[in-house]
C-alpha cells in the first residue's frame, strides 16, 4: 500500500509509504491520499490527523516526476488532495522525519536546510530526536483533543479564511464564529465543567 491509514481513538495516522522513492507521490498515491483525507474529514470520531512518511530518509519530496502521470492526474482535480486539505478544518500535524519540500526561498534556490534552521525560520514548531517523533506528535494531538472539537475546528477555519481578509474583516469573522460557538452544546457544557472543576464531556455539537 502506498498510503497507510490507521485510526487510534480520536487520532488518524496517515503514512506516505514509498520510502524507496523518498515518499514522492505518484498518481496512485495522490488518489489514495485524497480518499484517506475524505474519510478523515467525514468521520466525527477522528479529531486530529498526523501525517508522516515511511522510513527515516524523507517525509515527502513532492511529486514523483519519474512516474509521468501527474499531467494526466492534474486534469482530474477531484483525485488530488490539495484543495481538500486547504479547506480542512480539523487540525493536522506533520511528523517530518526527513527531507521535505517547502518555503519559497528554498523552492527558488533549491537550497537545503537542517531541522534546527527550519525551527529558527518558523517552518516547524518543534525539533525532537527521530526516535521520539511519533510519540511527541501523539502527545500534541492528545492535548488538542482535550479542547472542544468545534472550537478547534472553528479556530482553524478563522485562520484559513482570515488569510485573505483585512484586519477589520478578520475581526468581524471572529465575532461571527464566536457567536455561533456560544450557541453550541459544547459551549453550554464548558461553563459548568469549569465551575465544577471536572473534565468537560465534549459532544462536538
- Of 2-11, 19-28, 170-179, 180-189, the range with the highest mean pLDDT is 2-11
Nearest Cα to Cα of residue 91 among 156, 16, 15: 156
Reply yes or no on whether the pLDDT at 136 is more than 90. Answer: yes
Q: Are residues 165 and 96 in the same domain?
A: no
Q: What is the pLDDT of residue 70?
A: 64
Residue 140: CATH number of its domain = 3.90.226.10
Give residue 105's domain range.
3-145
Q: Are residues 21 and 79 in the same domain?
A: yes
Pairing of strands 3-8, 92-95: unpaired
Nearest Cα to Cα of residue 187 among 143, 150, 144: 150
- Quick check: is 202 in a domain? no
Task: State the Cα–Cα distance between residues 203 and 205, nearest whole angstrom.
Answer: 5
Reply yes or no on whether the pLDDT at 168 is more than 70. Answer: yes
Contacts of 78 (CB under 8 A, 6+ apart): 34
Q: Are residues 158 and 131 in the same domain?
A: no
Reply yes or no on whether the pLDDT at 71 is more than 70. Answer: no
Percent of residues, the chain, with pLDDT higher than 90: 53
Q: How many domains does the chain have?
A: 2
Predicted structure pTM score: 0.81
Reply yes or no on whether the pLDDT at 49 is more than 90. Answer: yes
Amino acid at each position: 500500500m502506498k498510503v497507510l491509514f490507521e485510526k487510534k481513538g480520536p487520532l488518524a495516522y496517515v503514512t506516505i509509504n514509498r520510502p524507496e522513492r523518498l515518499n514522492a507521490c505518484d498518481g496512485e498515491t495522490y488518489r489514495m491520499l485524497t480518499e484517506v483525507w475524505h474519510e478523515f474529514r467525514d468521520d466525527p470520531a477522528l479529531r486530529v490527523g498526523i501525517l508522516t512518511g515511511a522510513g527515516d530518509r524523507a517525509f515527502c519530496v513532492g511529486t514523483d516526476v519519474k512516474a509521468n502521470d501527474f499531467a494526466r492526474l492534474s486534469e482530474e482535480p477531484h483525485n488530488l488532495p490539495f484543495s481538500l486539505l486547504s479547506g480542512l478544518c480539523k487540525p493536522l500535524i506533520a511528523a517530518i522525519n526527513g527531507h521535505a519540500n517547502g518555503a519559497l526561498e528554498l523552492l527558488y534556490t533549491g537550497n537545503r536546510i537542517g531541522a534546527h534552521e527550519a525551527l529558527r525560520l518558523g517552518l516547524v514548531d518543534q525539533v525532537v530526536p527521530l526516535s521520539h517523533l511519533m510519540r511527541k506528535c501523539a502527545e500534541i494531538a492528545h492535548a488538542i483533543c482535550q479542547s472542544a472539537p468545534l472550537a478547534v475546528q472553528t479556530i482553524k477555519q478563522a485562520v484559513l479564511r482570515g488569510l485573505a481578509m483585512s484586519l477589520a474583516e478578520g475581526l468581524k469573522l471572529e465575532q461571527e464564529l464566536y457567536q455561533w460557538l456560544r450557541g453550541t452544546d459544547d459551549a453550554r457544557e464548558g461553563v459548568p465543567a469549569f465551575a465544577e472543576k471536572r473534565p468537560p464531556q465534549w459532544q462536538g455539537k
